[in-house]
Chains A and B, each alone.
Chain A
Amino acid sequence: MAHHSHPYHMVDPSPWPLTGAIAALLMTSGLAVWFHFHSTSLMLLGTILLTLTVIQWWRDIVREGTFQGHHTPPVQKGLRYGMILFITSEVLFFLGFFWAFYHSSLAPTPELGGNWPPAGITPLDPFEVPLLNTAVLLASGVTVTWAHHAIMEGKRKQAIHALALTILLGAYFTFLQAMEYNEAPFTIADGVYGCTFFVATGFHGLHVLIGSTFLAICLARQISHHFTSEHHFGFEAAAWYWHFVDVVWLFLYISIYWWGS
Chain B
Amino acid sequence: SSIHCGTMFRAVFRLSATGARSLARSRPCYSAPLASRCYSHAKVETDEEFDARWVTYFSKPDIDAWELRKGVNTLIGYDLVPEPKILDSALRACRRLNDLASAIRILEAVKNKAGPHKDIYPYVIQELKPTLTELGISTPEELGIDKL
In this complex, what residue of B is CB-closest to A116? B73
In this complex, what residue of A is CB-closest to B106? A114
User: Which stretch in A63-71, A105-113, A156-164 binds the other chain?
Assistant: A105-113
- Give A contacts to B, CB under 8 Å: 103, 106-111, 113-114, 116
Please tell me if the beta carbons of A114 and B66 are within 8 angstroms of each other in the complex: no
Question: Which listed residue (A111, A114, A116) contacts B72, Cβ 8 A?
Answer: A114
User: Which stretch in B40-48, B78-86, B97-105, B115-123 binds the other chain?
Assistant: B97-105
In this complex, what residue of B is CB-closest to A105? B73
Please tell me if the beta carbons of B70 and A114 are within 8 angstroms of each other in the complex: no
**How near does chain A come to B64, taking the closest CB pair, in angstroms?**
10
**How near does chain A come to B54, taking the closest CB pair, in angstroms?**
16
Within 8 Å of chain A (Cβ to Cβ): is B109? Answer: yes
- Taken together as a complex, chains A and B put the C-alpha atoms of A153 and B72 apart, in Å, by 58
- Taken together as a complex, chains A and B put the C-alpha atoms of A185 and B73 apart, in Å, by 26
Task: Encode contact with A along B60-102: 1 for CB under 8 Å, 0 otherwise.
Answer: 0000011111101100000000000000000000000001011
Please tell me if the beta carbons of B105 and A109 are within 8 angstroms of each other in the complex: no
A-B residue pairs in contact (CB < 8 Å), sample of 27: A103-B66, A106-B70, A106-B73, A107-B65, A107-B66, A107-B67, A107-B68, A107-B69, A107-B70, A107-B73, A108-B69, A108-B73, A109-B65, A109-B69, A110-B99, A110-B101, A110-B102, A110-B105, A111-B101, A113-B105, A114-B69, A114-B72, A114-B73, A114-B102, A114-B105, A114-B109, A116-B73
**How near does chain A come to B110, taking the closest CB pair, in angstroms?**
12
**How near does chain B come to A50, taking the closest CB pair, in angstroms?**
38
- Taken together as a complex, chains A and B put the C-alpha atoms of A218 and B40 apart, in Å, by 54
- Taken together as a complex, chains A and B put the C-alpha atoms of A111 and B72 apart, in Å, by 15
Kindly list chain B residues whose C-beta atoms are within 8 Å of the C-beta of A107. Answer: 65-70, 73
Kindly list chain B residues whose C-beta atoms are within 8 Å of the C-beta of A113. Answer: 105
Kindly list chain A residues whose C-beta atoms are within 8 Å of the C-beta of B68. Answer: 107
In this complex, what residue of A is CB-closest to B99? A110
Q: Which 10 A-B pairs have the closest CB atoms?
A: A110-B101, A107-B69, A107-B70, A107-B66, A114-B105, A110-B102, A106-B70, A110-B105, A107-B73, A109-B69
**How near does chain B come to A127, taking the closest CB pair, in angstroms?**
22
In this complex, what residue of A is CB-closest to B76? A114
In this complex, what residue of B is CB-closest to A114? B105
- Taken together as a complex, chains A and B put the C-alpha atoms of A15 and B65 apart, in Å, by 52
**How near does chain A come to B92, taking the closest CB pair, in angstroms?**
17
In this complex, what residue of A is CB-closest to B100? A110
Kindly list chain B residues whose C-beta atoms are within 8 Å of the C-beta of A110. Answer: 99, 101-102, 105
**How near does chain A come to B75, taking the closest CB pair, in angstroms?**
12
- Taken together as a complex, chains A and B put the C-alpha atoms of A103 and B81 apart, in Å, by 25
Kindly list chain A residues whose C-beta atoms are within 8 Å of the C-beta of B102. Answer: 110, 114
In this complex, what residue of B is CB-closest to A109? B69
- Taken together as a complex, chains A and B put the C-alpha atoms of A203 and B53 apart, in Å, by 41
